Every structure is written in structure tokens, then in C-alpha cells.
Structure 1
């Protein structure tokens, strides 16, 4: 086999194998989550905090992305996803509305079982804004009673 054909065949095989790899996905279970929230209104920003959190199966879709409406619904009522887009196998964005109180843009990037979820929230028609960031590393175990739910 000539060299050019051999290189081409090798490149095709590599591309086929990479395409066959599964998407990286967050899976239900225990995570070490660092939460960072910006200041809102006249309240000062809280320092980042890291806690072991339980992410239940009800929070994760079939592609390994969280439902940001369910996370926001712990603080606001009537949260619904208005739009979602899978940008690539590891990145998804959403628009979420919680009644007339809050609108949010969310983006999650998965890196293996770990993920980063960023939410830009606008309250009261944009009069107040807040960002929420969740940097999560899988603890590679099931949830225990000591793991708090993600909120």
C-alpha cells in the first residue's frame, strides 16, 4: 500500500473511532459542587461554597444535561424551559421562564462525568440580575443522606 493511501486510511479510521465515542454526560449521583452566586439587588455576593450534593435522576435528561428549570423552581414558581439547543455533544443551552418573576439563560458544558452550569438570571423584567455558576466534579458514588440536593 502506498504511503498516501496508508495515511488517508489511518485518518479515516481515527475519525470513525472519534465519532463513535459516546458523548460526555453528567450522571445522577454524588458531586462535589462549588457554587458561585453574584450579588443581587442590595445584597452582597456570597463567597463561593463547595458542598457534596446529590443530583437525582429527575434532574438529568437522557443526554446527561441538567434541567435548569427544576433547579430554579426550588426558589421560584412556575419555571418552564422555553427553548433548548444542543450545541454539540457536550454543550447545551436553555432559556427558562419562571412566571413573570424571572427569565434566565443557562449553559452547561460536560467534561466526562463532571460539568459546569452557568445561569444568567434577570428578575423583575431585568431590574435585578444574578449569575449562578455550578462547577461539579463527580464523586463516582451514589448519593448518601449527607449529600444535600442541588439548589
Structure 2
């Protein structure tokens, strides 16, 4: 809870301070989670902490917009990572078997770190210069919100 919510708040606070002092217009991109949008039957504390990130992004985006600082976040679905393995207490191979059917329904293949990184690059780019306070869900369409 502390890392995901207070840690993210500290990062946004200090990044914004440096950007404003340097008169830098730009973007801060946070990481939330699909669970913040949809909930889950496990890991309630994780879901709450990521929901706090959404509140932070929505509030900070309003506070910093006049200074030329955009604040957005990405909310990835399940990505085959050691973090998710630890959370679910399963090995990488078993995790792959667990989440593969979910992505098979989407017809888009499996969500990877690259998909998430591409979303972050977009939000940080000038192509998103008029996007702020947005939560970009990256899940290949597997979770109808």
C-alpha cells in the first residue's frame, strides 16, 4: 500500500516540483492497474492502492495543467511477470496457463511488457499533448469495463 500509493504520490510531487521550477512542460505517467477499474476477488489492498493512483492522477492533472504538466496513467491487465507470480503464488509456467485463456478470447495474443511500454511512450509523447487526467487501460479488450 505504501509503495503503490504514497510512493507514487511522492514521485509525482517531486517530478512536478522539478518540472515547474525548470519551467518544463511535459508529462508524468503513473502506473495503476486494471484491478483499479474493475476490482478483483483477491488482493484487496493492491486494488485499493492502485485505485489511489487513479485519484492522484485525476487530481494532480487538474492542479498541474495550468503549468503545462500533464499527468496520466496506464492500467495494464495481467502481464506474465515475476510480480504477478509472487502475488498469485504460482510459477511462471502456471501463470501463463492461467492467463492464456483470458487473452485467447480477445484474439489479440498475450499482453506483454512492450504493449504497456508503448502506451507509456504514447502518453509521454507530444502526440498526447492534449491528454491529461486519463487512465489508459492496456488489456487487449479482455476486460469489458
TM-score (norm. length: structure 2): 0.25
State the structure with more CA Rg.
1
Q: Which has the higher strand share?
A: 1
Q: Which has the higher helix share?
A: 2
